[in-house]
A = this chain, B = another copy of it.
Amino acid sequence: PVRVGQKVPNFEMETYDPSTGKFGKVVLEDLLKERKWVILFFYPADYTFVCPTELADLAEKYDELKEMGCEVISVSTDTKFVHLAWHRDEPLLKNVKYPMGADPTGQVSRLFGVYDENTGLALRGTFIINPEGVLVGSEVNFYNVGRNADELVRKMKANVYLMSHPEEACPAKWEPGKKT
């Protein structure tokens, strides 16, 4: 698996895109050509319980993250057909606008070290890739501990700030506007 500080090899996934209601495809290289930051948000499975609250929580930050230059993609090992169905059925996902990636072969999940060979599902892992294609942050929680989207936004801000101020460092709990 790729580790923090390394270049991420290219990958692609089929997606269901709730903003258009269509099936599509996401390719890392294409996003990097647009100088995007990429956030991958893995979760175990559609039609389960913790997952929609995490996805809904993330949905609320989507606009803010987009403005920072991020593309957000949620990923599970379900198919795009199931993503479509779940998004239609589950009220909590109403505000989800980011593309939902389908990784039924588990190749992308294996690339980031979150594929569980026993269950065929992905662990709850969040990964930040910078516009150079380097993995700059990872967070993995074992099964049922949910993630905090506020903290993700905080880290993205620090990363973006450091990208344009490479000679500085962001201390603990740093928030933009604070002195580094």
Q: Which of A31-39, A67-75, A79-87 contacts B (4 or more CB under 8 A)?
A: A79-87
How big is chain A's contact interface, by range? Answer: 35 or more
Chain B residues contacting A113 (CB-CB under 8 Å) are 3
Chain B residues contacting A45 (CB-CB under 8 Å) are 79, 81-82, 104
| A50 touching B148, Cβ below 8 Å | no
Contact with B along A1-35 (1 / 0, CB 8 A): 10111000000000000000000000000000000
The 3 closest A-B pairs by CB, nearest first: A104-B120, A105-B120, A53-B171
A-B contact pairs, 9 of them (CB 8 A): A85-B86, A104-B119, A104-B120, A105-B117, A145-B170, A146-B158, A146-B170, A146-B171, A151-B151
A residues adjacent to B (C-beta < 8 A): 1, 3-5, 45-50, 53-54, 56-58, 77-79, 81-82, 84-86, 89, 103-106, 113-114, 116-121, 123, 125, 134-151, 154-155, 158-159, 162, 168-174
If A5-B123, A79-B120, A145-B170 are given as contacts, then 11 extra A-B residue pairs at C-beta distance below 8 Å, sorted by A number, are A5-B116, A46-B79, A56-B172, A78-B82, A85-B86, A137-B140, A138-B138, A141-B155, A145-B159, A148-B151, A148-B173
